[in-house]
Amino acid sequence: MTTPRWSHRRARKTVRRGLTRFEARLRSACPGIGFTARITATILTEPPYPGPAEEIAAAVRATLRKTAGEVSRTCDPADLATARDVCGRHLGQRRRLPSDPPIEFTAELVLDLLPDDRAAVATLLNAQRKQAVADILHRQKTDALIAELADPAALLVRWVDRDGADWSKHSDVAGNVNSIAQAFAQHRPRDERTVEHAAVEVLREFLASFPDQSQKQMLYTILAAGMDSAQRPQHAAKTQALLNGNVAVAPAGES
């Protein structure tokens, strides 16, 4: 017996009504802050459906809520535009219910934040900005202190400025100051802990191990010749300029 055409139209209308702008609460990448979504699905399969229209609509809603939630939890609520693009693109893919025969559908959504979630995002961003400023100031203060304490003279001034500093109690002030300053001087910021920076330090130590000026000139001559042989004429010229006196060669011990 053939199902009346009006019955197909009623089933299609019932499904459409159940899949138009239904709501969903979706998690975000920030715990406690979520998205609100209004989803509209479009059934691509024509009736008759393998089940009551209400059950078909409920199954599609459940599938889309779960699918949207899986992708939304990776989205940053502070970047709502990107979250909309990501979720919209994901829900726009064609899907099917595991029915017999399968029912295919696609969907689109309108993603937003409720007022409480917007307020939470604003509070979070404000806290992050304050923490970032505090971190930068602390890092600047730390770097400045390290740079100062890496200088034996500056370290000695700090020691002298202390209340009750007694020279008679420190027979080896210079030795202590130099050893402490050397420890600070060996510190390197994270962006300077590379092979290239380490190689520069080794080269500086090597050059400083030859105190005689004639020895240094010989080393710079060899270095310039090596650069020229490696087809690095600009570097060779800069090194040669050191020998010509355009840039003063550091005396021994000032590497």
What confidence tens digit (pLDDT) does each residue in 174-192 have?
Answer: 667 677 777 666 666 666 6
pLDDT, tens only, 238-247 = 888 877 764 4
pTM over 0.75: no
Determine the pLDDT at residue 66. Answer: 94
* pLDDT reading at 163 higher than 60: no
166 has pLDDT over 70: no
In this model, does residue 168 exceed pLDDT 70? no
State the pLDDT at residue 173: 62
The pLDDT, as a whole number, for residue 250 is 44
Instruction: Look at residue 138 in the predicted model and tell me its pLDDT.
Output: 92
Average pLDDT over residues 77-82: 94
- Range with the lowest mean pLDDT among 18-27, 82-91, 220-229? 220-229
Q: Flag the least confident range among 81-85, 133-137, 151-155, 215-219.
A: 151-155
Q: Which CATH number fits domain 5-113: 2.40.160, 1.10.3470, 3.40.50, 3.30.479?
A: 3.30.479
Cβ neighbours around 2 below 10 Å, total = 5
Q: Mean pLDDT over all residues of the chain? A: 82
Residue 248 CA to residue 250 CA, distance in Å, equals 6
Sign of CA pseudo-dihedral 94, 45, 39, 72: negative
Predicted local confidence at residue 158, as pLDDT: 74
Structural domain spans, the chain? 5-113, 194-255
> Among residues 56, 146, 154, 177, which one has the least CA distance to residue 105?
56
Rounded Cα gap, residues 124 and 115, in angstroms: 14
The per-residue pLDDT for 146 is 81
% of the chain at pLDDT higher than 70: 79
